[in-house]
A and B are shown apart, each in its own frame.
Chain A
Amino acid sequence: MSEVEGTPEGPKIGADEWVARSEERTGRRGGPFAPLVARAEQLPWWVLLVAAVGVSALLPFVSSSEYVIRVAVNTVLFALLALGLNVVVGWAGLLDLGFVAFYGFGAYLYALLSSSQFDLHFPALLSVSIVIVSSALLGLLLGLPSRRLVGDYLAIVTLFFAQIYVVLATNADRITFPWNDGPTDISGGPNGITDIDPISILGYEFGSIRSYLWLSLGVFAVVVVALQFINHSRTGRAWRALREDSLAAEMMSMPVNRLKLLAFVFGAATAGLTGTIFASVQLGVFPQNFDLPLLITVYAMVILGGAGSIPGVVIGAITINVSLELLREPSNARFLFYVAIGLGLVTLVRPWRRLAAILVGLVVFGIVAYQLTEWLRPAWVSGTIEGGRFASVLDGWVIHPVNSVHLGNAGFVLLIVALLALTEVRGIWRSILLVPTLYLAAFVWENRLVVEPSVTRILLLGALLVVLMSWRPQGLLGSSRVEIV
């Protein structure tokens, strides 16, 4: 007995070589952020949280611009949403496409309880508690029929739910009740509900945008702490087991259905809570606030940052919301586009000689193409690129037709084909094809995408999801999964 325990090379129960070396397999992290991430991971989580919240809370003292602070509040709200979705998607592995409906439900319920719509002016703390409890109950209700469904059914049922929610919010302004004469206006219809009470706690009224920043940061800190504890609890571990293999989890006598419902409830409650802050910051709620574009935005945040990792989804939320904010204005959008292309080239093209060749080739290609077009079809280059820091640099390089729509559209289709072809060719041909593709991308960007920012953002988010899923499904900070056969 003692001999076995004493020998250092004796097998430990439950830890074979495969398990012992699992750190090696998952620990190697690639990508440009690897050293930074490794450094940050050694700190305890609460240090990171305090640092992040503390630095963000100082923002109003650095910038007095109301716009900047408003963007910061939005970012915190998105981070909260991403955290809520992370519970359902990242931890429990359930594809919940009705997530934003809970957000909308929370916002609308708060608006109904604390506005002049029904002349109910409940105190904020009471309304918020009611909202959290009823969002959780709604999540339970939606989860009940969905729990026996495997991933795909669940996805479509929840997507339908989200759609129904928007239909109801848009049309519930003329509901006829049998006990009432004439239609009753519940949701305000397409005009939404305005004139919502600001949140006030113990007599302190949150009026200014900077006070909302502090409020949302406080809520964020509380949610992160709560989620951190849940993640390391029995329930958190059970969720992850469920995500990896729900059948095996059931065999281990885990209450699979109850765990799924619990994940739903947590996600819904977080979304509802975030909705109340949103409603009170914006002082109004409208049905189109909670439509599908929001859904894909939150999904992109969770997937980009790394589903399952709390710092990951927060960083994803910050990255995506700030990028989308930059996209609104052409000169910023242009800056973002060329920086992203440059970063992508630097990280992906390996020997620097090839990188230099591609860059030189790109510049030469552009100049030649421009001169050639000017000679053949002068009308195509007669348009000018307007506004921003780079406009003068790009004039003379990017072809900009006066009637940019049709040529830009043709270029767009061609660009998609070229990008797909790029994934198929190998070796030197890839570098050669890369030059015209990049030029085409610049052409399409300047002529079509930069002028329609609201479409471009959804387009890019969709592309981002597809690319991430096949290239780096674990996102920036998630750890890669080891497939067990």
Chain B
Amino acid sequence: MDWDFFVQQLVNGLTLGSVYALIALGYTMVYGILKLLNFAHGEVYMMGAFAGFGVLSLFGGAAGVTINVVLLIGLMLAVAMLGAGLLGVAIERFAYRPLRNAPRIAPLISALGVSFFLQSSALILFGADFRSYETYEYIDLATGIHWGPLNISVVRIAVILTAVAMMLGLTLLVARTRLGKAMRATSFDREAAAMQGIDVDRVIVATFFIGSALAGAAGVMVGLVFYKVYHLMGFLAGLKGFTAAVVGGIGSIPGAMLGGLLIGLSEAFITGYVSSTFQDVFVFSILIALLLVRPSGLLGKADIQKV
């Protein structure tokens, strides 16, 4: 057994997994509250990646960064999260809210429209070329942990730690704050929550903002680790983020994190050991198999439908 290769895939899987987990959180939070599948979520992630790239270009571009690198990455994350969050709020306001009492299929079609609209807007605004974060220009990738077969660059460590910190923060927010309590109540029963004096619209806006901001952060992280950003990157990442949310049990926040890690790890190992062309086919098979065996996901509760 080639340990170097195995550890390499493990690290890859953890990085990918934390990114998928961040995307999955947005899906799962929105689904938990609105019972709505936000197809445009992958596109929000893509826009976040472009926002980070914009900040990078603003401060001299990859080859000639003019400010402190830590500050730069902090700014990229902040701008991407804010931009993506506002984008998510706008999508909710203009594409989903008018349809809140419409038949189930209407917001899904609207979401499909938003997704394609954002994708082609990105194509108009940024062109079809790949953009690259070129992280190696301003961060020495040789620094990091080197311990036997274990080689992790500092960027990956930072990405994984940031993702974990964000997930912890979200868990605390949902468990400990007033807003979190309101979110849990709204997710449990929207009408009952409204009757208790919870401003449901505000909770929904906050949910969209937080979920989209996490997706924006994920976009910047992918750019930092894998360099390439382009207008189609949101589609597959969104699908896998959704798969992660379903695997973990949609509506469950720890489930989304677990699901993201599982999907990231299995994708990395399948790419490494089985096939690098058809890894998406395998991820898809995982989804199908799981839906057949346990439709409510690993950590989800079985849904009892009341009439």
Chain A residues with a Cβ under 8 A of chain B? 89, 93, 95, 97, 145, 148-153, 155-157, 159-161, 163-164, 167-168, 171, 247, 292, 296, 299, 303, 409, 412-413, 416, 420, 423, 448-449, 452, 455-456, 458-459, 461-466, 469-470, 473, 481, 483
Chain B residue nearest to A93 in the complex (CB): B105
B130 at the interface (CB under 8 A from A): no
Q: Which of A155, A423, A473 contacts B94 (CB 8 A)?
A: A423
Chain A nearest CB from B105 CB (Å) reads 6
The 8 closest A-B pairs by CB, nearest first: A465-B113, A462-B117, A462-B116, A152-B37, A470-B98, A459-B120, A466-B113, A469-B110
User: Are B125 and A409 within 8 A (Cβ)?
Assistant: yes
Name the segment of B185-193, B201-209, B255-263, B276-284 touching the other chain: B276-284
Interface of A (DSSP majority class) = helix
B239 at the interface (CB under 8 A from A): yes
By a CB distance below 8 angstroms, the chain B residues around A296 are: 112-113, 116
Q: Which of B98, B115, B235 contacts A462 (CB 8 A)?
A: B115
Chain B, range 74-133, C-beta contacts under 8 Å to A? 90, 94-95, 98-99, 101-110, 112-121, 123-125
Give the docked Cα–Cα distance between A456 and B116 (Å). Answer: 11
Chain B residue nearest to A423 in the complex (CB): B94
B196 at the interface (CB under 8 A from A): no
Chain A residue nearest to B240 in the complex (CB): A160
User: Are A171 and B277 within 8 A (Cβ)?
Assistant: yes
By a CB distance below 8 angstroms, the chain A residues around B90 are: 420
Q: Are A466 and B281 CB-contacts (below 8 A) given A151-B105, A449-B124, A473-B102?
A: no
Name the segment of B17-25, B54-62, B166-174, B286-294 touching the other chain: B286-294
Give the docked Cα–Cα distance between A3 and B94 (Å). Answer: 58
Chain A nearest CB from B100 CB (Å) reads 10
Chain A nearest CB from B188 CB (Å) reads 19
User: Are B105 and A95 within 8 A (Cβ)?
Assistant: yes
By a CB distance below 8 angstroms, the chain A residues around B277 are: 167, 171
User: Are A465 and B120 within 8 A (Cβ)?
Assistant: no
Give the docked Cα–Cα distance between A463 and B112 (Å). Answer: 10
User: Are B99 and A469 within 8 A (Cβ)?
Assistant: yes
Chain A residue nearest to B280 in the complex (CB): A167
User: Are A155 and B121 within 8 A (Cβ)?
Assistant: no
Q: Mark B20-40, 1 if CB is under 8 A from A, else 0.
A: 000000000001000111010
Number of residue pairs A-B, CB distance < 8 angstroms: 139
Chain A nearest CB from B244 CB (Å) reads 12
Chain B, range 205-238, C-beta contacts under 8 Å to A? 235-236
By a CB distance below 8 angstroms, the chain B residues around A461 are: 113, 116
Q: Which of A448, A473, A481 contacts B124 (CB 8 A)?
A: A448
User: Are A459 and B124 within 8 A (Cβ)?
Assistant: yes
Q: Which of A164, A466, A481 contacts B110 (CB 8 A)?
A: A466
User: Are B280 and A458 within 8 A (Cβ)?
Assistant: no
User: Are B109 and A95 within 8 A (Cβ)?
Assistant: yes
B177 at the interface (CB under 8 A from A): no
Chain B nearest CB from A185 CB (Å) reads 14
Chain A nearest CB from B291 CB (Å) reads 6
Q: Which of B99, B117, B124, B291 contacts A149 (CB 8 A)?
A: B291
By a CB distance below 8 angstroms, the chain B residues around A163 are: 235-236, 239, 280, 284
User: Are A159 and B239 within 8 A (Cβ)?
Assistant: yes
Chain B nearest CB from A153 CB (Å) reads 7
By a CB distance below 8 angstroms, the chain A residues around B102 are: 469, 473
Chain A nearest CB from B243 CB (Å) reads 8
Chain B residue nearest to A161 in the complex (CB): B284
User: Are A156 and B284 within 8 A (Cβ)?
Assistant: no
Chain B nearest CB from A461 CB (Å) reads 7
B295 at the interface (CB under 8 A from A): yes
Chain B residue nearest to A463 in the complex (CB): B117
Give the docked Cα–Cα distance between A459 and B122 (Å). Answer: 10
Q: Which of B95, B108, B119 contacts A152 (CB 8 A)?
A: B108
Chain B nearest CB from A318 CB (Å) reads 21
Q: Are A160 and B287 CB-contacts (below 8 A) given A93-B105, A448-B124?
A: yes
Chain B residue nearest to A412 in the complex (CB): B124
Give the docked Cα–Cα distance between A448 and B288 (Å). Answer: 42
By a CB distance below 8 angstroms, the chain B residues around A292 are: 116, 235
By a CB distance below 8 angstroms, the chain B residues around A416 are: 121
By a CB distance below 8 angstroms, the chain A residues around B113 are: 296, 461-466, 469
B53 at the interface (CB under 8 A from A): no
B307 at the interface (CB under 8 A from A): yes
B68 at the interface (CB under 8 A from A): no
Chain B nearest CB from A219 CB (Å) reads 28
